[in-house]
Structure 1
Amino acid sequence: MLQGITYTHPNRDLLFTGIDLVINKHDKIALIGNNGAGKSTLLKILSGNLQPSGGLVKAAGKPYYLPQLFGQYNHLSIAEALQVQHKLQALKEILDGHVTAENMALLDDDWAIEERCKEAFMHWKLDSLTLTQKMGTLSGGQNTRVFLAGIMIHRPEIVLLDEPSNHLDTLSRNILYNYIQTTNNTLVVVSHDRTLLNLLHTVYELSKRGITVYGGNYDFYAAQKMIERDALDQDLKSKEKALRKAKETERESLERQQKLDARGKKKQEKAGLPTISMNTFKNNAEKSTARLKGVHAEKVDTIAQELDQLRKELPGTEKMKMDLDNSALHKGKILVTAKEINFGYGSRQLWQPGLSFQVKSGERLAIKGLNGSGKTTLIKMILGELQPRSGTLDRAGVKAIYIDQDYSGINNTLSVYEQAQQANTGALQEHEVKTRLNRFLFTKEYWDKPCSALSGGEKMRLMLCALTISNQAPDMIILDEPTNNLDIQNIEILTNAINEYKGTLLVVSHDEYFLRQVNVEGEITLG
């Protein structure tokens, strides 16, 4: 349970305040929110690894925590990272005859600890690893699976998972999904993996307003958000109509007042009143008009401010449109032909047998395979950066854009505005470039910000923005694990952008939900 939780960064920036959260036994909760909302921080507070600035944390037992990042464990062995090294050492010494009080206390009657470690590692396909290996020698997927194996080893009641499907291939994801479905553990999961989120019973959304509870899985949450969005759209339309009406009333009232003043002035002139009376009339008329202007201006300004606030509440997906020209290539043109291609060093070949496939203009294909099966190598061949060691690969002269999970197309030494200008091949004016940046949520305070300071989602949006600035649609877009570092809002932005694009699409992704959303219709499978 969390009560009145506040967290302030070391630089004194407030992250969130007044957070209340009740988690009951056997609850399976998805904790979602935009990047920067504080999901990982809240999970660390729940785990006891981080102290809040204020508020109360209560837990029925010690939670098991799987972090999103593992660099802090690089110098540790697997056993040390999983905090089982003392038990294993005590068991070894007892079996060797050193039955001391200290060893018995360390083992704590857990005679099956070694067997559980073996079973857990077999379950998570980590048979090739030893508990003495350093964490720094493992891949991202292996790090995640080691900590997931720790759940079977420690048998906790409460499990906190921060982006557990990151870096996992399809096989490992399916093992994770099965655990989520079958476990009796109390779960709190931070994830952008919508297949996983649909396996959880309740969605807790963290935002500036605090935590909002949605009593269903992710699809239920998405449907509720759509209802909220429709209501917001209606409010916007209603407010825009009210603003137009207020401006029209203001104009009509001023015109009517000016006509009355003009008629009054003519009557005064005909009556031949002295100058002092005429001046008094003129002053009264001006004051009356000013008062009328003030009343209407205040009303218009109030409605305009309310409208501006409503527009700020619009999700980012509603504000961005790609508006790219279509690729000039006709649909069905053969772009890539591979015949029994392979790559490797010495006698070791990546694929058995070699790969044969075609890519045609307008197709949407997934490149699928387990981690280490050579997906990125194949992409480099398609882009012409690598040549196959055997077989033939023919490529048509096409313009291709490659977007990887690290967004390496962004130059980290440039500012946001400078990066946008690099794409400005059509000589757009400065204000037009900045208008495009605004449309992709890069407001004035971002323009001079270095690209190195951007999050993964921000870099992705900047790449999409650059495409709209160049206004030259690529013939082919290749996405390499594009959703790995994105929150749900940015995944939706990417999905909408890709669905507006009419050219050829190749996607490397283990995110089946995303592949369905972008209408992938075929696949190249790597053995």
Structure 2
Amino acid sequence: MIILQNVTYIHNNGDLLFSDINLIVNKQNKIALIGNNGAGKSTLLTILAGNLLVSKGIIKANSKPYYIPQIFGQFNDYSIAEALQIEDKLKAFQEILKGNVTEANLLLLDDDWSVEDRCKEAFAYWKLHGLSLSQKIGSLSGGQKAKVFLAGIRIHCPEIVLLDEPSNHLDAAGRGILYDYIKTTTDTLVMVSHDRALLNLFTTTCELSRNGITVYGGNYDFYKEQKMIENEIFNQDLKNKEKALRRAKEIERESVERQQKLDARGKKKQEKAGLPTISMNTLKNNAEKSTSRLKGVHAEKVNSISEDLRVLRAILPDMDKIKMDFYNSNLHKGKVLITAKDVNFGYNEALLWKQNLNFQIRSGDRIAIKGLNGSGKTTLIRMILGELVPQSGTMDRAGVKSVYIDQDYSLIDGKLSVYEQAQQFNSGALLEHDIKIRLNRFLFTRDYWDKLCSTLSGGEKMRLILCLLTINNDAPDSIVLDEPTNNLDILNIEILTVAINSYRGTLIVVSHDEYFLKQAGVDNSIVLE
């Protein structure tokens, strides 16, 4: 069990990350933690792992959690055994087997006589064949690193497991193993993830924001349904406030006009009655004061409704603020763009694929390139883009314009500010005001315009690229995405999905995220073996 009471975290610079987090994680609970980039999900996991102190509040856990971080680069100089914190125990075990039965070795082993067998079993379970525990973490691929730390669960047998984006680097086979573990385990789990297929395996969804944590008693699909209901109620409130504001302004105008007409008629009667000048001035002043009070009353009401409306618009879901306006390919649907005949490629004379590739890509197609880690997906992309020539076979390419969005977001120049980067794509000679309107549509407000692109998160860079495509009026004939969801939170994945669905051109995607592929309308695939 884990108990969080009024947990608050404040950065060293004084910025509040989140406050007053109250949560109980009971034994065998499976809790998915979601929230926008910057909400503090990874920080909260680090706090739960005991690697970071809270600014305020209390955390209690009945056992030490096993923590799998999102990034593994800090372990590159460690051996696998060191990274898994079992090196000393394994050395002690080997020394004891050699007959060196010292008190120090027995203390290090702590009666854990099956540690070596569990390592073998865990590595076999996660298909980590041919790895040595003495091998450096830095020599492994991203998928292998993730599997090593996941294998640590079976080695350490913890009661509580904390997972930060565990499926990020896994191929389809690795994700399948992870999904099976989640389904069958009795461990207590707290996980941060944007993998919606994985999120649907969890029984509780918790949404983290600056103001605390909201618990939804169901999986991700259940959470989405509840959010949809909340958003419908919210949007209705917004419409009602907008209607009330319009009506209040109409009443204000009508009341003032009515009062002015009454004052004018009163003045004519006074003039006909031949009242003294001093009396006329007094009546005039009274009329002006009456009109002024009337304006004040109505202005106060209008201002009150306007403020309520401003607050509502400020908390409008980010997804609803974004406006998609893509230029689309001018190629007619069905035009043959690429024809591959008996294509293969190799490094060091060894061919990548068991069978030569034969396929055709037409304008308007939505195709996924699938395969295990190391199967040559990026190599095939480079051939499709014309950057590599097949070592065997032929690949005929029509003269088309393609945009390649890789995992490093290389289209973005980190040395430029957000506004300068937008200007680089301003092929239609938009005015500065129009560019800033486009940036605002993609949530890049005034605070972002002078910010260096190198400081943006992965989700922000992807969102900026989508914005750049709306600024550039020379529409690409095809968009190629390489693992587009890896570094995105759920909000930015949904933004990407909406953008892709509004694009009318050819889409080629490398992704292990089946949920995203389905939502993006991908209906065909090239499978590499």
TM-score by length of 2: 0.97
Secondary structure at the aligned position of 1:418 is classed as helix
Equivalent of residue 408 in structure 2, options 403, 406, 409: 406
Counterpart residue identity of residue 337, structure 2: L
Instruction: Give the structure 2 partner of residue 134 of structure 1.
Output: 136
The alpha carbon displacement at 1:253 in A equals: 1.1
Paired residues for 1:29-68 under 5 Å: 29-68=31-70
Instruction: Give the structure 1 partner of residue 80 of structure 2.
Output: 78
Unaligned runs of 5+ in 1: none
* Whole-angstrom CA distance in 2 between matches of 1:445 and 1:147: 39
* Whole-angstrom CA distance in 2 between matches of 1:416 and 1:348: 44
Instruction: Give the structure 1 partner of residue 225 of structure 2.
Output: 223
Matched, 1:423 2:434: no
Matched, 1:500 2:502: yes
* Whole-angstrom CA distance in 1 between matches of 2:239 and 2:334: 42
The alpha carbon displacement at 1:251 in A equals: 1.2
Kept after mapping to 1: 8 A contact 2:328/2:505: yes
Matched, 1:308 2:310: yes
Instruction: Give the structure 2 partner of residue 202 of structure 1.
Output: 204
The alpha carbon displacement at 1:406 in A equals: 2.0
Question: Would the alpha carbon gap of residues 112 and 502 (structure 1) be closer, same or farther in structure 2, given more than 3 Å must change?
Answer: same
The alpha carbon displacement at 1:193 in A equals: 0.4
* Whole-angstrom CA distance in 2 between matches of 1:399 and 1:257: 66
Instruction: Give the structure 2 partner of residue 247 of structure 1.
Output: 249
Secondary structure at the aligned position of 1:289 is classed as helix
Most deviating of 269-278 and 394-403: 269-278
* Whole-angstrom CA distance in 1 between matches of 2:152 and 2:199: 21
Instruction: Give the structure 1 partner of residue 340 of structure 2.
Output: 338
Paired residues for 1:419-458 under 5 Å: 419-458=421-460
The alpha carbon displacement at 1:140 in A equals: 1.4
Counterpart residue identity of residue 137, structure 1: S
Instruction: Give the structure 1 partner of residue 350 of structure 2.
Output: 348
Kept after mapping to 2: 8 A contact 1:341/1:355: yes
Instruction: Give the structure 1 partner of residue 528 of structure 2.
Output: 526
Matched, 1:372 2:374: yes
**RMSD of aligned C-alpha atoms?**
1.3
TM-score by length of 1: 0.98
Paired residues for 1:123-272 under 5 Å: 123-272=125-274
The alpha carbon displacement at 1:274 in A equals: 4.0
Counting matched residue pairs gives: 527
Kept after mapping to 2: 8 A contact 1:170/1:510: yes
The superposition leaves residues 324-360 of structure 1 with CA deviations (integer Å, 9 ceiling, x where unpaired) of 2332111111111111112223421111212111111
The superposition leaves residues 178-230 of structure 1 with CA deviations (integer Å, 9 ceiling, x where unpaired) of 00001110111110001111111111111123111111111111111111111
Secondary structure at the aligned position of 1:29 is classed as strand
Most deviating of 324-333 and 168-177: 324-333
The alpha carbon displacement at 1:272 in A equals: 3.6
- Same amino acid, percent of matched pairs: 71
Unaligned runs of 5+ in 2: none
* Whole-angstrom CA distance in 1 between matches of 2:138 and 2:169: 15
The superposition leaves residues 417-450 of structure 1 with CA deviations (integer Å, 9 ceiling, x where unpaired) of 1111222221222111111111111111111111
Secondary structure at the aligned position of 1:353 is classed as coil
Counterpart residue identity of residue 156, structure 1: P
Kept after mapping to 2: 8 A contact 1:324/1:472: no
* Whole-angstrom CA distance in 2 between matches of 1:346 and 1:51: 50
Secondary structure at the aligned position of 1:21 is classed as strand
Question: Would the alpha carbon gap of residues 278 and 386 (structure 1) be closer, same or farther in structure 2, given more than 3 Å must change?
Answer: farther
The alpha carbon displacement at 1:71 in A equals: 1.6
* Whole-angstrom CA distance in 2 between matches of 1:157 and 1:173: 22
* Whole-angstrom CA distance in 2 between matches of 1:478 and 1:283: 73
Secondary structure at the aligned position of 1:48 is classed as coil
Counterpart residue identity of residue 472, structure 2: S
* Whole-angstrom CA distance in 1 between matches of 2:419 and 2:283: 56
Most deviating of 323-332 and 516-525: 323-332
The alpha carbon displacement at 1:139 in A equals: 1.6
Kept after mapping to 2: 8 A contact 1:410/1:419: yes
Instruction: Give the structure 2 partner of residue 108 of structure 1.
Output: 110
Most deviating of 132-141 and 171-180: 132-141
Instruction: Give the structure 2 partner of residue 382 of structure 1.
Output: 384
Kept after mapping to 2: 8 A contact 1:198/1:219: yes
* Whole-angstrom CA distance in 1 between matches of 2:494 and 2:459: 11
* 4+ residue runs over 4 A deviation: none
Secondary structure at the aligned position of 2:364 is classed as coil
Kept after mapping to 1: 8 A contact 2:411/2:465: yes
Most deviating of 281-290 and 166-175: 281-290
* Whole-angstrom CA distance in 1 between matches of 2:66 and 2:305: 51
The superposition leaves residues 21-53 of structure 1 with CA deviations (integer Å, 9 ceiling, x where unpaired) of 101111111011111111111111111111111
Kept after mapping to 1: 8 A contact 2:418/2:451: yes
* Whole-angstrom CA distance in 2 between matches of 1:73 and 1:387: 37
The alpha carbon displacement at 1:367 in A equals: 0.6
The alpha carbon displacement at 1:285 in A equals: 2.8
Kept after mapping to 1: 8 A contact 2:16/2:210: no
* Whole-angstrom CA distance in 2 between matches of 1:458 and 1:391: 40
Secondary structure at the aligned position of 2:61 is classed as coil
